[in-house]
């Protein structure tokens, strides 16, 4: 906002926070004009703060369009962030929750190895409540049992759609849809069959920031973990590696971009190698040549 004394401070009648409003100066246009025409008169004669108004407008848009309620299966990586952002732009579903599988022993996101605290910060920055499927045994049966319980609870709230960021793995989609059939829910795949080369460049172009947190040693070496996803990263990938890592070549942590109201701060920690073991979520395809994975610890700041 322009640094001028004509801009006046006001207190939001919803949350009480102080914000600056240009409507008090006849020569300035109030920032409320940037919001959709769906703004109803029953909001009152006074402005809300930007964050409260955004929430109210989002609720009104969902109500007006009667969007189906959904859960977004959230890994915390670039495809999840891009997929959720795309949904918000396309206005196809009203995402009620993010859902993530957590290793309850390490308190980290399954497969990605990202600390639970960073996951919490992502959900807060995206402004969506977070559901956690906690696993400890390291078996698919435990994962499916815990996931089913969470989904049935969501279904009781009127949620019938579950959204995934998968791009082209047919067997993975079939696995997900088979499990959803058991609870009478429907899978949604907003990135399905998109060109992964185009997708990763559009992800970068839109201002998203992401870093590799795990790489498969059959595809990439230690030097690739803890690297920012940018144009140079994509250009440097070996020819056999999908630009989005869709075959499980690498996993990422998205820490900034248009989806978030603020960036998630962290520093790079130790790089650790772990031998291949059965994963809890059955969503990380790996080559028969895979011996293990390199992880980079991301430390919250």
Task: Choose the weakest-confidence range: 57-61, 71-75, 107-111, 218-222.
Answer: 57-61
Q: Which of 186, 156, 159 is nearest to 173 (CA)?
A: 186
pLDDT number for residue 280: 41
Pairing of strands 8-11, 108-109: unpaired
Q: Whose structure tokens read 């990135």?
A: 191
Give the angle 209-213-216 at the CA atoms, nearest 5°: 125
E strand spans, 222-286? 250-256, 266-275
Q: Which of 52, 46, 14 is nearest to 30 (CA)?
A: 46
Q: Which of 4, 6, 31, 8 is nearest to 20 (CA)?
A: 8
Cα–Cα distance measured from residue 77 to residue 167, given in angstroms and rounded to the nearest whole number: 13
pLDDT band at 282 (very low <50, low <70, confident <90, very high): very low
Mean pLDDT of the 181-210 span? 97
Would the pLDDT of 157 be above 60? yes
Q: Using one digit for the tens of pLDDT, what is the confidence trace for 44-66?
A: 446 677 777 777 777 766 665 68
- Alpha-carbon distance values, 85 to 90, 174, 248 (Å): 9, 24, 22
pLDDT number for residue 44: 45
The model carries a pTM of: 0.77
Q: Which is higher by pLDDT, 105 or 284?
A: 105
Task: Choose the weakest-confidence range: 78-82, 97-101, 102-106.
Answer: 102-106
Mean pLDDT rounded to a whole number for the chain: 86
Q: Which of 178, 220, 175, 228 is nearest to 200 (CA)?
A: 228
pLDDT number for residue 65: 67
pLDDT number for residue 137: 81
Q: Which domains does the chain have, with CATH numbers?
A: 8-62 (no CATH), 67-300 (3.40.50.620)
pLDDT band at 223 (very low <50, low <70, confident <90, very high): very high
User: How far is CA 212 from its chain centroid?
Assistant: 15
pLDDT band at 18 (very low <50, low <70, confident <90, very high): confident
Cα–Cα distance measured from residue 203 to residue 84, given in angstroms and rounded to the nearest whole number: 12
Structure-block tokens of residue 226: 């803890």
C-beta separation of 69 from 93 below 8 A: yes
Burial class for 20, CB neighbours closer than 10 Å (0-12, 13-18, 19+)? middle
Would the pLDDT of 264 be above 80? yes
């Amino acid at each position: 906002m322009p640094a001028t004394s004509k801009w006046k401070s006001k207190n939001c009648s919803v949350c009480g926070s102080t914000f600056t409003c240009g409507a008090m100066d006849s020569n300035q246009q109030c920032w409320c004009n940037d919001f959709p025409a769906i703004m109803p008169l029953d909001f009152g004669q006074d402005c809300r703060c930007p964050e409260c108004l955004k929430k109210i407008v989002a609720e009104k848009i969902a109500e007006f369009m009667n969007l189906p309620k959904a859960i977004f299966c959230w890994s915390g990586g670039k495809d999840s962030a891009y997929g959720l952002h795309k949904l918000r732009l396309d206005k196809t579903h009203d995402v009620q929750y993010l859902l993530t599988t957590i290793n309850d022993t390490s308190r980290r996101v399954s497969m990605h190895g990202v600390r639970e605290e960073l996951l919490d910060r992502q959900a807060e920055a995206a402004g969506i409540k977070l559901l956690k499927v906690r696993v400890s045994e390291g078996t698919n049966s435990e994962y499916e049992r815990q996931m089913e319980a969470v989904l049935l609870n969501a279904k009781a709230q009127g949620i019938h759609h579950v959204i995934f960021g998968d791009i082209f793995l047919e067997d993975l989609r079939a696995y997900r849809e088979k499990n959803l059939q058991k609870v009478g829910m429907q899978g949604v795949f907003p990135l399905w069959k998109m060109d992964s080369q185009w997708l990763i460049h559009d992800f970068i172009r839109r201002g998203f920031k992401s870093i590799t947190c795990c790489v498969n040693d059959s595809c990439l070496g230690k030097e690739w973990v803890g690297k920012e996803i940018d144009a140079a990263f994509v250009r440097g990938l070996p020819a056999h590696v999908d630009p989005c890592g869709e075959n499980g070549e690498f996993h990422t942590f998205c820490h900034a971009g248009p989806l978030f109201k603020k960036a998630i701060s962290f520093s790079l920690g130790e790089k650790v190698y772990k031998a291949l073991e059965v994963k809890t979520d059955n969503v990380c395809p790996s080559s028969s040549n895979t011996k293990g994975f390199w992880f980079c610890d991301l430390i919250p700041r």
